Structure 1
Amino acid sequence: MPYVEVRGGSIRVKWWGGEYRLDADGKATRRKKYESASGPEPGVPFDDEDEAYNYGLDREHEVRHGTHIPRANSKTVMRDYCWMWLDAQDLRDTSTTRYRSRLRARIVPYWGERSVGEITTWEYEAWKKGLQASAARGELSHYYVDQLISLFGMLMTDAVVKYKLRSESPVIRQRNRGRYRKKQRETKQPMQMAVLHALATNAYRVWGFAGWTYIWTLAFTGMRPPGEMWGLRREFASPTWPASDPDPERRESMMQRYGPNTMPAIRVQYQSQYERGQRKQVGPKYDSHRTLVVPPFLHEMHAALLASHDSPWVFPALGGGQMGTQWGKTYWPYIRGGAPERSARRDRIRQEIHPVPEMVGKRIYLLRHGHREWLEEDGHPRIAMETRMGHEVAGVEGLYSNLTPPMERRIAETLQERWEAFWGMGVWWSPPFPTLLPEG
């Protein structure tokens, strides 16, 4: 039972917190560890002894029912908890880096000196409203704000469920409450072949035949840029795979279904990522290893591209190595935004490049979105679309459905038809297919 102490003008209540003291060897003794409080909230004293006694009874009720949070735990400050939480997560290096950046930039500076157990819903809502106001003024992106709010929600949920630092989360999600705010989405237009042709033409002028093939490959396979595209190795391209697959078991099974003379396909086996500053080949996002059939025209492009260089990467950088951070500095800005003749010469581009108005300021990831739109327009089954995009279909539908060879052949046929229809509309520029120069 709790007991109340009256000292001068203050009232304090003590209760057993459900734990025992430890001896020098770390073993529990028979001595109970008591907790105490001088008021129902920090800075607010008890009005009388009855209020203090009832407060202690409530705490002991929590102890008996396993919902009690030790006061020492709840006083853990956020600046310590955030980094302990991050160290405990099993994440890929890129996710860890992203979380660390957001914690350091926004969450720890704002909440760092507060105890985990003291944060209230009122305070959380005020912080959230301030971030959303910054996004509305254009100071922060809406995506960044959503990710900050999501990360803070994970911190508070784990503080309740896993680490027992508080009894309930201050993050309360309620649908259809408050003023309606339409979710901000990126403005997109249907992907047009003429726009892709303009991008591919610019990519050829910046990057050569690898750039031309890169744009068409992304648009006609829906691979995730940049990781899956940069991580595509020669042995997994359609002219060589599956005969060149290093896994004997997979090679044997895949050769019964795919091949340059049967159904050309690309194997998405890796993506390229930086881990602790080092470039590494890791599995694709969500471990979405998959096989992507390609239309005949794209297979021919890849055959010509591989014949023109001896790099292990299908899309090597201009220097012959693997593409990396230079993509966002000296490749994509010119491909989508163009370059005047003077700046083009400064960056070793031989001619003026005209901007592509529909893509100025846009992400290349939109080409992946456009591929999904094409699949929907052509009426392919949902299981075929989701599998190609590297997604899983949940529930019974995903359990019983399967991607079949006729589905894949139909995808390759509709993509080839789209390509041929575009070139049949008029005269479009195309680069000559390259060949590897003979030795000497």
Structure 2
Amino acid sequence: MTASPAQLPFSEAIDFFKQKIRLPSSGWTDIWQEQHSHAFVVAGAAHDDLVEDFYNAIRQAKESGTGYPAFRKQFDEIVAKHGWAYNGTPGWRSKMIYYTNVTQAYNAGREQQMQAVKHLRPYGVYRHTSIEHPRLEHKAWNGLVLPLDDPWWDTHTPQNGWGCKCRKYSLSRIEAAREWEKRGRTGPDEAPPIEMEMRVVGKNGSNPREVWVPKGIDPGFAYNPGKAWLEPQTVPPLQGYDAVLKERETPWPTAFTPPPMPKPTVVPKSALLPANTAPEVAVADFLDVFGASMDEGAAFTDAAGSTLAITKALFQDGKGEFKWMSKPGKVARLEYINLLAMTVIEPDEIWWVWVKDHGENGRWRLKRRYLRAFEVDGTNEFGVSVFEWGKSGWTGSTAFMGTQKSDAAREAYFDKQRAGRLVFSK
């Protein structure tokens, strides 16, 4: 018996899934078509912890070859852990999440393999494999042989819908000729005309809209997952798709224009604490901005709707002391601690950045990056505060460029602090 694509842990499919950025979302259509080749979302999974757990569960099942049964068990555990409310039955929803992700990973990996040997096997054949309740359009495409470079494959490379089991295989010139002979042809098939229809997507999510899709293909599937992965700069990437851009050392993607440089907030010199401020005093100042104190914490909801717990524990070491803040490399944080608080409360921008824990099998975790530009009153000194928050802790820094810097230099300096996906801009 041949193993299903969902059980095959071949390296190309695993590489495709590994490189995905994990994004919280209110609906599967929050991102669109080719963007799914670069991002992992679960419709309705709006919290980063939930998305992290689903991504790591699928990746583990894929890499270990344990497949859907292992994921199905973890699905129930993840849902119970987070109290997640979702549409459909557990069996149906878990299958949709698992098989859609791993099947598209398989298809993307196969596309990479086909492109690598295209000089030897330059044709592709469409195979309709569903037996029960076939989609008539998919069945009509069965046996169609076209060059791998034919534009028809850009929109019709399987998977072409929810639960679609159609496949695409490469053929040599001799194999392609045999396929044509079976149907009384002497040369390549002609690509079927593409009839477009208007569909409404995201009705139950945060981004409902009308889209044009080829008839016979479910909305969101009219793209070649492997091509979108191999040629990420030919499609509109996610906003701030930083991982792809860094790998290829390119500027922002053409589909994303960063917001203009925010106008710096002018602060008095008194907003900066003296360099010799005691850690306990600096911490008390920080907490006070949030309505918290040394004795009582506070829950703060940021401009993007995420809640942070603000307590003195943010600044304490394992012994409950603040002495670490006076160490070299940390003490500079004290002088600007009020600016860091202002950055969290009223940021110019918030970015979500995914980072991987140390180790080959490390988990992926979400970092929230808060940015705000400042100018010290009467000095023309320009500075940027960065506060990065995650489950493993936080980091903060404020740096000033000095006086008489040009607007272009300020903008370039602020732009360097941007990373990940932009989720809020003032």
TM-score bin (small chain)? under 0.3
Greater Rg over alpha carbons, structure? 1
Q: Which has the higher contact order (CA 8 A, sep 6+)?
A: 2
Q: Would you tell me which structure has more strand in proportion to its own residues?
A: 2
Q: Would you tell me which structure has more helix in proportion to its own residues?
A: 1
TM-score after normalising by structure 2: 0.20
TM-score after normalising by structure 1: 0.20
